[in-house]
Amino acid sequence: MLAAHPHALAPSPWIVRHAHLLRAGGCVLDVACGGGRHVRWLQQRGHALFAVDRNAEALAGLRDIAQVLVADLESGPWPYAQQTFDAVVVTNYLWRPLLPHLVRAVAPGGVLLYETFALGQASLGKPSNPEFLLRPGELLDAVRPTLRVLAFEDGYASAPQPAFVQRIAAVREPASAHAADRYNLPI
């Protein structure tokens, strides 16, 4: 039996569940995007995409659908210091020094969708190094008070595979006083 091609991986259910928060046709940055499962899924929904990863080979297959950048985010400067995005997407990646940059990269009215492993994961397997596992509430602390949290989860998830994770969907309030309309929220 052949293993599934990495491009065939389904997008994270967390990203899918909160994709309605993204501005139609908005500009999305996928950080540490790997083979581009979210880039491909979001491109099919009409978003303009930026993809960054240190793996040039993984990015090569995305050049036709995204502006790609090969960069080692852990050893160089933040390459998007002068840009903001309608959405910033991060899954299965943690480099704590980037957290403030990711929050600043969210444009007014924009969304941060972040999901990665948390403490407890070592009991299930990789990653097991605490440097790559979020501490309880760490994503909340990283986004507040700059972004408003719309959804947050911290704990054990049985699907799509057993893992300890933290997930957050947070927005930077738009200049408009009608933010509740923007996100289809009750007032």
Other residues' Cβ atoms within 10 Å of the Cβ of residue 70: 15
Query: 């790997």: which residue's tokens?
Result: 34
> Pick from 68, 82, 63: which is nearest to 31 by CA?
68
What's the mean pLDDT in 91-113? 97
CA–CA dist 48, 92 (Å, integer): 22
Contact between residue 92 and residue 116 where contact means Cβ atoms under 8 Å apart: yes
CA–CA dist 61, 109 (Å, integer): 30
What's the pLDDT score for residue 185? 53
What's the mean pLDDT in 105-115? 97
Taking only the tens place, the pLDDT of each residue in 145-182 is 999 999 999 999 988 889 999 999 999 998 764 545 55
* Alpha helices, DSSP H, located in the chain: 13-18, 37-43, 56-60, 99-104, 138-143, 179-182
Residue 122 three-state SS: helix
Q: Which two tokens stand for residue 29?
A: 């940055």
- In degrees rounded to 5, what are phi and psi of residue 41? -65, -45
Q: Reply yes or no on whether the pLDDT at 100 is more than 80.
A: yes
CA–CA dist 32, 9 (Å, integer): 15
Contact between residue 72 and residue 57 where contact means Cβ atoms under 8 Å apart: no
What's the pLDDT score for residue 3? 39
Confidence (pTM)? 0.89
Domain 8-181 fold: Rossmann fold (3.40.50)
- The alpha carbon of residue 150 and the mean position of all alpha carbons in its chain are separated, in whole angstroms, by 15
CA–CA dist 50, 62 (Å, integer): 10
What's the pLDDT score for residue 38? 97
CA–CA dist 148, 162 (Å, integer): 28
